[in-house]
Amino acid sequence: MRRCYLVCYDVRNDKRLRRIHKLMKAYGEPWQYSVFYCTLKAIDRVRLENAAREILNLKEDQLLIVDLGSNEEAAREAATTLGPAPPQQEGGVVVI
């Protein structure tokens, strides 16, 4: 079962910041500059943590994962935005 997560980070160094941003784009959609919304399988959540641990300096930086549960609709509805809405992503089959 995929679960939804909100992942945020504070990174004190530009190089690591860019690397972590690039990494996060592999796992979720950017809602804000350092706030990502991810729908992850259990295995990908572990992979994300492992990869982030490699990049971050754990003495200075912080990565925060908030579990939003397994209901994708509820997870999206849990967010209220003022200003432009975050991008909407569809599930199932994406036809382009």
Partner 1 sequence: MDGTYWPCRGVAEHAYCPRLFYYMTVEGVFLPSADTELGAGVHTRVDQPSEAPPTLEGNGRSGRSKKKVEKLEESDSDSDRPLSVRSLALTSDQLGLTAKLDLAEINGTTAIPVEYRKGRPKRCGEVSEPVDEMMEQGRLLPGPEPWPTDRVQIGLQAILLEEAGYTVPEAYCYYAAERLKLRIPVDDSLKCEALAELEAAKRTAAGERPPPLVNDPKCPRCSLQPICLPDEINQQRFTTLAANGEPADEQLTPRKLWPPRDEGIHVVIQKEGVRVGVRGQSVRITDKDGGIVRDLPLANVESLAVLGGVQVSTQALAVFADHEVPVAYLTAAGRLVAMMDPMGPTSAAVRAAQVRVLDRPEKALELARAVTVAKIANQRTLLMRNHAALPSRVAADLQDSIAAAERATTMNELRGHEGNAAAIYFRHFAGMFKEGVKEIAVRFESSGRQRRPPPDPVNAVLSFAYSMLTNECTAAARLASLEPALGALHATRPGRPALALDLMEPFRPLIADSIAVSAFNRGELTEGHFLDTAAGCALTDAGRKGFFSAYGRRMDTEVTHPVFEYRLSYRRMLMLHARLIAAWLLGEVPSLAFLTTK
DSSP state of 25: H
For partner 1, which residue of 7, 48, 55, 75 counts as binding (CB under 8 A)? 48
Should residue 26 be labelled a site residue for partner 1 when binding is judged by CB under 8 A? yes
Residue 2 and residue 42: Cα distance in Å, rounded?
7
Q: Which stretch in 6-14, 38-46, 57-65, 75-83 sits in contact with partner 1 by CB under 8 A?
A: 38-46
Residue whose CB is less far from partner 1, 59 or 82: 59
> Residues 6 or more apart from 62 whose CB is under 8 A from it?
9, 10, 56
Residue 31 and residue 22: Cα distance in Å, rounded?
14
- Distance in Å, CB of 77 to partner 1, minimum: 19
Should residue 52 be labelled a site residue for partner 1 when binding is judged by CB under 8 A? no
